[in-house]
A and B are shown apart, each in its own frame.
Chain A
């Protein structure tokens, strides 16, 4: 008993001591230690595959006590969790990258899923459920009706609901796995603010993140894991810790630059998108409205825009009308008008689109690397409708080598690869289709610093070979670091075109948010009116 009371005043809420976890043939964690102080925001950094997720699975009991070596002390008690319910009972909640919400159920139903508020006779007390839900929503700063179906909320709000769900369970330690990976800047900002508020109420959180600027902004200390070992724990307050300092710990060396050098020699215009307009698949509004842009050979063109600005929608619509309703616009390939009414046609004209969501839209996760690599260009590998599977393996092995895909063989399932390696498979697929224009949608989302650098190098290699590359990204430093020119998109309209050399994050952001309301209003009102000219001044005149 005395032990217990002492425990709750102990400065460290969590101590993981010398954790070693081996899988057959692989040592995932070796002698990892982690101390988290009560009431702090503790960040964990490391490249993909470094062992962060494994460590969190050990902590939360996914890998039960006895399957690993070492000790876990939580809240002064030696913990021997045999499953996730045990760790939840002790007050540990994990919010995973992939949200575990049921889209058709309401916010309140999701909040109390598996933990329903029961009234008399074991039936659910809906008034109490919704009332409690409102209180929880208020705590996370979400102004929504608790009866709204989850599917109607954006990803950012869903994330908040997940946190509210954790709060409903009397949590002492909140673990967030890449909480802002899918969020835009506004939502990220809000989420980090919420973490600060919770911290002021005494909550301890662990945050796994690849976004170093966020770690710098919010965390009190950061533990760096590399190759299954703890490298160091830095006190963000005491030491002057910079992003570069963290990167050095993660990759074990200084990255001279986060973006590889490239000499820019743009050639002739390869693709021109003119006055492209796309309607929402079911609603009567324009998601992309009169967008005009062009890309030249050997050039990287960035597209910046907030979530919902229509970036992905524009790209997918151009790529074989894969999104929404095509309402107008013309493509020119080297000055010649072309049609891309289907994906096949788009591929035939030398377009390639690497999706932002590689798991959902990019890969067949239950199939192997070689068949994923060949998927978009089977014609190249086949005669009379039959595939030369030996040639296919050779192609895949070439890609594996040149792209540095880390997998035992090309017969490995893509579902078992890390995010960075999955992305390399997606890129291999499109590079093998030998396109002239590659549209890369968030090519580095959710992958670690080292793999990002590799992806940038691949992009540079492509433009050096005379390809035209369009990069869509939410990370402005990335766009500024790798692009030649950047277009900004706001509410479906191109609001600016700037040379990357002279632009800053601030100048981009102001273009990305420019006239957002006006443009949106115009888009709604203009659903039936003829398309307006897309230059900014005229837009303002028109909507005013």
Chain B
């Protein structure tokens, strides 16, 4: 009896929920989540146009495998862009790291992990090289990475001696094309995939609940409880549906796990690490960041080291997927990564952008390309449409900001 009366007042802080005007809150949400809405619309559109083929198990697996390296690049590119820079060299870095790995594994017969580690090390060195010129010498990143684009492409030709190298041993190609073995056995579908997805959903729900509880404890505004539950159920449904489709195909791709870990890590880093904050501060107002004690040079340096690292990861994935190294590998990947970041809401002037946004931006381009391939759209028309999507996405963003900015 006495226990129940004691706990009752604790509910009080939870009463502070979102905006009183649901319509206003909705339009606010729509403005922030415009890209997500667009993504859902595009997915549904192609599902209808292809009679559901685009959402088939095999195709979903394909999209993941096919666009993973662009998403990896887009993570690094987003950070570079938020800090107010650009990196034009990542395509060449993908080629060079893949080439070095291939030369070691195929050319010299080293073990697969030697190739992977060497590629990652080269990526870090390249990042440090470009970071040095940008951060400590003060050359604009556009110039440094334009030079890098030529430089590393040239080195790729040199390393490969102008010819393609293939094939990789089976272990190496597993990175990008392999699947987690069906540990729990198969029943016509892979139970392990479902298990992992269920685990991820529960972990997500737990972290959301924890955040909410912390917010309530600090007496902050939280969304209404039914809305919160609805959000969790929706996310769970989408993830489980996605997992079901994967389970019905070939199971859980290894590259998806790599990707998930990277996305999760970098989302947290950008959202709540001191480093992430400093990146936003530099992009938002360089002088103010400097005068607030941010060590701008070192932050810039690490941004490029990180970009080099992620480009090397993408290089490994790409070489693994294409089962070899070509001198022209990774051509124009930098543009795909840049487009993903901008479609995902990053500001051209820096200071604004989210990892999730860039991922959705990259997937949006992926889904559109994939859908058009399924529909048998002409290659040239595909380019035209991709260009228009980039332009319209950013125009939409600018329009929203103008509407939101001027009262």
- The answer to whether the Cβ of B280 comes within 8 Å of any Cβ in the partner chain is yes
Query: Which of B51-59, B285-293, B384-392 lines the interface with chain A?
Result: B285-293
Q: Bound state CA distance, A364 and B350, in angstroms?
A: 11
Instruction: For the complex formed, measure the closest distance between the CB of A489 and the CB atoms of chain B, giving whole angstroms.
Output: 21
Q: Bound state CA distance, A297 and B214, in angstroms?
A: 39
Chain B residues lying within 8 Å of A343, measured Cβ to Cβ, are: 290-294
Query: Which of B139-147, B271-279, B327-335, B354-362 lines the interface with chain A?
Result: B271-279
Q: Bound state CA distance, A363 and B285, in angstroms?
A: 7
A390 touching B291, Cβ below 8 Å: no
What mask results when residues 279 to 303 of chain B are scored 1 for a CB within 8 Å of chain A, else 0?
Answer: 0110011011111111100000000
Majority DSSP secondary structure for residues of B touching A: helix
- The answer to whether the Cβ of A412 comes within 8 Å of any Cβ in the partner chain is no
- The answer to whether the Cβ of A362 comes within 8 Å of any Cβ in the partner chain is yes
A391 and chain B: residue at smallest CB distance:
B218
Instruction: For the complex formed, measure the closest distance between the CB of B115 and the CB atoms of chain A, giving whole angstroms.
Output: 32
One of B221, B274, B295 near A379 (C-beta < 8 A): B274
Query: With A343-B292, A385-B274, A387-B277 as given contacts, are A367 and B351 in contact (CB-CB < 8 Å)?
Result: yes
- The answer to whether the Cβ of A200 comes within 8 Å of any Cβ in the partner chain is no
Chain B residues lying within 8 Å of A115, measured Cβ to Cβ, are: none
How many of chain B's residues have a CB under 8 angstroms from any CB in A? 30
- The answer to whether the Cβ of A265 comes within 8 Å of any Cβ in the partner chain is no
A364 touching B285, Cβ below 8 Å: yes
Instruction: For the complex formed, measure the closest distance between the CB of A415 and the CB atoms of chain B, giving whole angstroms.
Output: 9
Q: Bound state CA distance, A252 and B352, in angstroms?
A: 41
Chain A residues lying within 8 Å of B220, measured Cβ to Cβ, are: 390, 393
A362 touching B288, Cβ below 8 Å: yes
What mask results when residues 338 to 377 of chain A are scored 1 for a CB within 8 Å of chain B, else 0?
Answer: 0000111011000001010000111111110001001110
Q: Bound state CA distance, A126 and B393, in angstroms?
A: 43
- The answer to whether the Cβ of A429 comes within 8 Å of any Cβ in the partner chain is yes
Q: Bound state CA distance, A314 and B49, in angstroms?
A: 68
Q: Bound state CA distance, A389 and B214, in angstroms?
A: 10
Instruction: For the complex formed, measure the closest distance between the CB of A154 and the CB atoms of chain B, giving whole angstroms.
Output: 20
Residue from B214, B275, B291 whose CB has the most chain A CB atoms within 10 Å: B291
- The answer to whether the Cβ of A121 comes within 8 Å of any Cβ in the partner chain is no
Query: With A385-B274, A386-B274, A387-B273 as given contacts, are A367 and B218 in contact (CB-CB < 8 Å)?
Result: no
- The answer to whether the Cβ of A530 comes within 8 Å of any Cβ in the partner chain is no
A344 touching B295, Cβ below 8 Å: yes
B276 and chain A: residue at smallest CB distance:
A387
Chain A residues lying within 8 Å of B218, measured Cβ to Cβ, are: 390-391, 393-394
B352 touching A386, Cβ below 8 Å: no
Query: With A385-B274, A385-B275 as given contacts, are A375 and B287 in contact (CB-CB < 8 Å)?
Result: no
- The answer to whether the Cβ of A382 comes within 8 Å of any Cβ in the partner chain is yes
Instruction: For the complex formed, measure the closest distance between the CB of B67 and the CB atoms of chain A, giving whole angstroms.
Output: 30
Q: Bound state CA distance, A385 and B351, in angstroms?
A: 20
What mask results when residues 395 to 438 of chain A are scored 1 for a CB within 8 Å of chain B, else 0?
Answer: 00000000000000100000000000000000001000000000
A382 and chain B: residue at smallest CB distance:
B274
- The answer to whether the Cβ of A319 comes within 8 Å of any Cβ in the partner chain is yes
Q: Bound state CA distance, A390 and B216, in angstroms?
A: 10
- The answer to whether the Cβ of A322 comes within 8 Å of any Cβ in the partner chain is yes
Chain B residues lying within 8 Å of A375, measured Cβ to Cβ, are: 277, 281, 288-289, 292, 294
Kindly identify, within residues 208 to 243 of chain B, every residue whose CB is under 8 Å from any CB belonging to chain A: 214-215, 217-218, 220-221
B280 touching A367, Cβ below 8 Å: yes
A366 touching B273, Cβ below 8 Å: no
Query: With A344-B295, A375-B288 as given contacts, are A364 and B351 in contact (CB-CB < 8 Å)?
Result: yes
Instruction: For the complex formed, measure the closest distance between the CB of A11 and the CB atoms of chain B, giving whole angstroms.
Output: 36
Query: With A366-B351, A366-B352, A385-B275 as given contacts, are A322 and B291 in contact (CB-CB < 8 Å)?
Result: yes
- The answer to whether the Cβ of A544 comes within 8 Å of any Cβ in the partner chain is no
- The answer to whether the Cβ of B10 comes within 8 Å of any Cβ in the partner chain is no
Q: Bound state CA distance, A320 and B278, in angstroms?
A: 18
A345 and chain B: residue at smallest CB distance:
B293
Instruction: For the complex formed, measure the closest distance between the CB of A376 and the CB atoms of chain B, giving whole angstroms.
Output: 4
Chain A residues lying within 8 Å of B290, measured Cβ to Cβ, are: 322, 343
Chain A residues lying within 8 Å of B285, measured Cβ to Cβ, are: 360-361, 363-366
Q: Bound state CA distance, A437 and B220, in angstroms?
A: 33
Chain B residues lying within 8 Å of A355, measured Cβ to Cβ, are: 291
Chain B residues lying within 8 Å of A376, measured Cβ to Cβ, are: 292-293
A363 and chain B: residue at smallest CB distance:
B288
B274 touching A364, Cβ below 8 Å: no
Chain B residues lying within 8 Å of A26, measured Cβ to Cβ, are: 407
Q: Bound state CA distance, A534 and B137, in angstroms?
A: 37
One of B275, B280, B293, B352 near A371 (C-beta < 8 A): B280
Instruction: For the complex formed, measure the closest distance between the CB of B211 and the CB atoms of chain A, giving whole angstroms.
Output: 9
Chain B residues lying within 8 Å of A382, measured Cβ to Cβ, are: 273-274
Query: With A364-B281, A364-B284, A371-B280 as given contacts, are A385 and B289 in contact (CB-CB < 8 Å)?
Result: no
Chain B residues lying within 8 Å of A386, measured Cβ to Cβ, are: 268, 272-274
Q: Bound state CA distance, A391 and B215, in angstroms?
A: 10
B284 touching A385, Cβ below 8 Å: no
What mask results when residues 112 to 131 of chain A are scored 1 for a CB within 8 Å of chain B, else 0?
Answer: 00000000000000000000
A387 touching B280, Cβ below 8 Å: no
Q: Bound state CA distance, A26 and B281, in angstroms?
A: 31
One of A353, A374, A385 near B291 (C-beta < 8 A): A353
B287 and chain A: residue at smallest CB distance:
A361
Q: Bound state CA distance, A409 and B220, in angstroms?
A: 10
B282 and chain A: residue at smallest CB distance:
A364
Query: With A319-B291, A343-B292, A367-B284 as given contacts, are A390 and B214 in contact (CB-CB < 8 Å)?
Result: yes
Q: Bound state CA distance, A509 and B214, in angstroms?
A: 56
Q: Bound state CA distance, A94 and B294, in angstroms?
A: 38
- The answer to whether the Cβ of A198 comes within 8 Å of any Cβ in the partner chain is no
What mask results when residues 1 to 36 of chain A are scored 1 for a CB within 8 Å of chain B, else 0?
Answer: 000000000000000000000011010000000000
Chain A residues lying within 8 Å of B277, measured Cβ to Cβ, are: 371, 374-375, 378, 387
Instruction: For the complex formed, measure the closest distance between the CB of B321 and the CB atoms of chain A, giving whole angstroms.
Output: 34
Chain A residues lying within 8 Å of B352, measured Cβ to Cβ, are: 366
Chain B residues lying within 8 Å of A344, measured Cβ to Cβ, are: 293, 295
A364 and chain B: residue at smallest CB distance:
B284
A390 and chain B: residue at smallest CB distance:
B218
B351 touching A362, Cβ below 8 Å: no
Q: Bound state CA distance, A81 and B348, in angstroms?
A: 34
Q: Bound state CA distance, A409 and B280, in angstroms?
A: 20
B214 touching A361, Cβ below 8 Å: no
Q: Bound state CA distance, A362 and B295, in angstroms?
A: 16
A28 and chain B: residue at smallest CB distance:
B407
Kindly identify, within residues 306 to 350 of chain B, every residue whose CB is under 8 Å from any CB belonging to chain A: 347
B291 touching A362, Cβ below 8 Å: yes
Chain B residues lying within 8 Å of A23, measured Cβ to Cβ, are: 407
Chain B residues lying within 8 Å of A346, measured Cβ to Cβ, are: 293
One of A365, A385, A391, A429 near B292 (C-beta < 8 A): A429
B291 touching A361, Cβ below 8 Å: yes
Chain B residues lying within 8 Å of A360, measured Cβ to Cβ, are: 285, 287-288
Q: Bound state CA distance, A368 and B289, in angstroms?
A: 14
The 9 A-B pairs with the shortest beta carbon distances in the complex, nearest first, are: A364-B284, A390-B218, A376-B292, A375-B292, A23-B407, A364-B285, A343-B293, A361-B287, A344-B293
Name A's B-contacting residues (CB within 8 A).
23-24, 26, 319-320, 322, 342-344, 346-347, 353, 355, 360-367, 371, 374-376, 378-379, 382, 385-387, 389-391, 393-394, 409, 429
Name B's A-contacting residues (CB within 8 A).
214-215, 217-218, 220-221, 268, 272-275, 277-278, 280-281, 284-285, 287-295, 347, 351-352, 407
Provide a sorted-by-A list of 25 A–B residue pairs whose CB atoms are within 8 angstroms: A322-B291, A342-B293, A342-B295, A343-B290, A343-B291, A360-B285, A360-B287, A364-B280, A364-B281, A364-B284, A364-B289, A365-B284, A366-B351, A367-B351, A371-B280, A375-B281, A378-B274, A378-B278, A385-B274, A387-B272, A387-B273, A389-B272, A393-B220, A394-B218, A409-B221
Given A319-B291, A360-B285, A378-B277, 16 more contacts at CB 8 Å?
A26-B407, A322-B291, A344-B293, A361-B288, A363-B285, A366-B284, A367-B284, A371-B280, A375-B281, A376-B292, A378-B278, A382-B273, A385-B273, A385-B275, A390-B214, A393-B218
